[in-house]
Structure 1
Amino acid sequence: MSVVLHYFTGTGNSFVQARALAESLKAAGEPGKVVLSPMTALFKGKMEDFSSFDAQGFVFPVYMWGIPLIVRDFAAACNFPQDCYLFAMTTCGGMAAATLPMLDDVLKRSGQSSGKRGLASGFTVDMPGNYTPFYGAWSEDKQQKVFVQAEARLHSIAAIIRERRNHPLERGWALANLFLTGIVYRFSSPKIPLMARKFKVDSNCTGCGVCQRVCPVSNIELKKTPQFRDHCQHCLACLHWCPEQAIQFGSSRGRKRYRHPEIKLQNMEDQHDGKVTEI
């Protein structure tokens, strides 16, 4: 019995929660391997073979009240054994709406999971919001309260996964789901890859290359200053990790950036490189 957590992160919320969940699983007595595997492997062309793992999960942030495009593409590309226990955990600073049912639908329609199976369980964990074009980072006190609540949740989530139990997919209110996921996401998400064209780089840029190193999908080319390509995921990692706050999007100028306090630059580089880590 082994578990793999496929993760995607921009500011570190989902990575830190994936790692904490992995540690909770080991503490709960998970007998086999527990590994973290970045979904960026899809872009690197080196998808690992996890067919011997009896449980596979997805950990990722909510974008536009739906699933990030990389999560959609990764889930559709994976092959899961017929008896594999599939689960997901989203992180969000607001409403998750129908994000988990959306992933469930992708899995069932992809035909990659034997018998077109979907998620056996799905969870949403609150994390500090970080969409800087709309607002600055939350206060440290507010962030800390959210972290404490998340830690308590992870123990109960780990117990469900450890026992391979079914759990209803957590979701928002029906009308909100219909509008936010069913309409806003479906009409807005196709525009995400080209949204990088709206990034602005100001004169504070030193050409250090951090933005290029943290971009999960190698969408940034450094030519003295960052040049953005056309397969952006809109994770805003470049904006939040820039040490000079030189990258702007919308009304982000002057607003405090956010990174989870436990995320390190090396963690982001490991995701960029598609590195698998055993806990």
Structure 2
Amino acid sequence: MIFYFSGTGNSKWVARQVAAYQHESLIAIADELAGGADLIYTLQPSEVVGFVFPVYSWAPPAIVMEFINKVRFTNAEGHYFFFVCTCGDEAGLTLNIMNETVAAKGWTWQAAFTIIMPNNYVSFPGFDTDPKELEQQKLHAAIDEMERINQELASRSNVFQCKVGSWAYIKSRIISKLFNKYQVTAKPFFATDDCISCGLCEQHCPVHNVKVHIKPEWGNHCTSCLACYHICPRHAIHYGKATLKKHQYFHPECK
């Protein structure tokens, strides 16, 4: 089982590669949470459990943490658990946070990886997408890196390769909490008159928080994934004034 969460497609692309190579089913975390059913799974004898998700403000997204806290496996012992997180530059203390989260559930991770993908965070001053040349370099490098990671997973290796980066404690333990408290909200979103009511923002919202009635309207369970902003073909969606002069990115194979 490969559980994934993705906004602009980086983690979805990675999850697809992992699921195909490892011959595992692909399950969207947002859909499972929205389904309302008990999140209880029974694993087949040779089945592995993987989580794929983006790093938000140097930590796992709140929706991923919610899912892990709620999910239960009836026969977790003896199975291979791993995660792959995508990020633009560094993951901070994501590995530490994931270790702490599953320890209370009686699991342990057997492997964890960071894979560098194009940046997509634009809703804060000083942050923007990568230049197109760097974006393409990251996408090409990710293909080879994904092959290497899949080989490690197929061998059931105990490998932990998460890029921590600088000032990790401050970023993951302090800034991340402020991000979740103040930035994970749809309130600043609006659409300009350039909106053509195409509905792509509604279609690509992983938590179905966007509804288009002439213009898009946002609900109250936004994950701050920015899929709606990045998928808009007219660049008509903005997050307050922070994104007015910024760029867009969506994984080319996940549009």
Instruction: Provide the residue aligned with 2:3 in structure 1.
Output: 6
Unaligned runs of 5+ in 1: 26-32, 265-279
- 1:215 aligned to 2:201? no
- The Cα of 1:223 is off from its aligned counterpart by 2.8
Q: 2:25 aligns with which of 31, 35, 41?
A: 35
- Number of the residue aligned with 1:64: 57
Judge conservation of contact 1:14–1:91 (CA < 8 Å) in 2.
Answer: yes
Deviations 1:192-249 (A, max 9, x none): 44x2101122111222222111111121233322221221100000101112211101
Conserved 8 A contact 1:101-1:169:
no
1:255 aligns to what?
246
Q: Which residue of 1 aligns with 2:85?
A: 90
TM-score by length of 2: 0.88
- Contact 2:39/2:71, CA 8 A, preserved across alignment: no
Higher relative contact order (CA 8 A, sep 6+): 1
The structure 2 residue matched to 1:186, chosen from 168, 172, 177, is: 177
Give the superposition deviation at 1:176: 1.7
Distance 1:204 1:182 in 2: 39
Question: How well do the aligned residues superpose, as a CA RMSD in angstroms?
Answer: 2.0
Looking at structure 2, the residues matched to 46 and 191 of structure 1 have their Cα atoms a distance apart, in angstroms, of 30
1:15 counterpart letter in structure 2: K
| Residue 136 of structure 1: how far off its partner (Å) | 4.3
Tell me the secondary structure at the aligned position of residue 196 of structure 1.
coil
Q: For residue 108 of structure 2, give the secondary structure of its aligned residue in structure 1.
A: coil
| Cα pair 1:100 1:169 within 8 Å, conserved | no
Q: Which of 142, 147, 150 is equivalent to 1:150?
A: 142
Equivalent position SS for 2:234: coil
Asked if residue 99 in structure 1 is aligned to residue 91 in structure 2, the reply is no
Flag the 1:144–1:138 CA change in 2: closer, same or farther, 3 A.
same
Note if contact 1:239-1:248 (Cα within 8 Å) is conserved in structure 2: yes
1:56-113 per-position Cα deviation (integer Å, ceiling 9, x unaligned): 111111101111111001111111322221100011112210112212211223x3xx
Partners of 1:201 and 1:87 in 2: CA distance: 39
| The structure with more helix, counted as a fraction of residues | 1
- 1:239 corresponds to which residue? 229
**Which one of 117, 120, 130 corresponds to residue 138 of structure 1?**
130
Question: What number of residue pairs does the alignment pair up?
Answer: 247
* Separation of aligned partners in 1, 2:99 and 2:157: 16
Residue aligned with 2:178, SS: helix
**Displacement after TM superposition at 1:188 (Å):** 2.5
Q: Distance in 2 between matches of 1:232 and 1:11?
A: 14
Q: Secondary structure at the residue paired with 1:70?
A: helix
Q: Give 2:247's aligned amino acid.
A: K
Q: Does 1:162 align with 2:187?
A: no
Report the AA paired with residue 7 of structure 2. Answer: G
Q: Distance in 2 between matches of 1:143 and 1:24?
A: 24
How far does residue 187 in structure 1 lie from its aligned partner after superposition? 2.9
Taking structure 1 as reference, are residues 91 and 182 closer, same or farther at Cα in structure 2, changes over 3 Å only? Answer: same
